[in-house]
Amino acid sequence: MGRIGAPWGVQGWSRIQTFTAEPDTLCDFRTWWVSGAEGWQPCDVHAVEMKGELLVAQLKGIADREAAMALTGCQVGLPRNALPPAGEGEYYWADLIGLDVVNLQGEVLGRVDRLFETAANDVIVVSGECERLIPFVDQYVQSVDLDARRLVVDWGKDY
What is the pLDDT confidence band of residue 103, given thresholds at 50, 70 and 90?
Answer: very high
Range of the domain at 28: 2-80
Same domain, yes or no: 69 and 114: no
Same domain, yes or no: 14 and 65: yes
What is the pLDDT confidence band of residue 24, given thresholds at 50, 70 and 90?
Answer: confident
Same domain, yes or no: 14 and 75: yes
Same domain, yes or no: 118 and 145: yes
For residue 16, which of 4, 31, 32, 7 has the smallest C-alpha distance? 4
Same domain, yes or no: 63 and 107: no
Mean pLDDT of 86-112: 94
3-state DSSP assignment of residue 157: coil
Same domain, yes or no: 68 and 6: yes
Last residue of a domain, one of 27, 56, 80: 80
Model pLDDT for residues 124-149, shown as the tens digit of each residue:
999 999 999 999 999 999 999 999 99
Same domain, yes or no: 22 and 56: yes
Task: Answer whether 56's CB lies under 8 Å from 45's CB.
Answer: no
Instruction: List Cβ neighbours of 88 (8 Å cut-off, separation of 6 or more).
Output: none
Q: What CATH number is given to the structural domain containing 109?
A: 2.30.30.240
Counted domains in the chain: 2
Mean pLDDT of 43-53: 94
Residue 158 inside a domain? The answer is no
Model pLDDT for residues 54-90, shown as the tens digit of each residue:
999 999 999 999 999 999 999 999 988 888 888 888 8
In the predicted structure, residue 21 carries a pLDDT above the cut 80? no
Mean pLDDT of 96-115: 97
Q: What CATH number is given to the structural domain containing 27?
A: 2.40.30.60
Same domain, yes or no: 149 and 111: yes
Helices and strands, counts by H and E, the chain:
2, 12
- The torsion defined by the Cα of 59, 64, 70 and 75, in degrees rounded to 10, comes to 20
**How far, in Å, CA of 113 to CA of 15, rounded?**
27
3-state DSSP assignment of residue 34: strand
Last residue of a domain, one of 80, 105, 133: 80
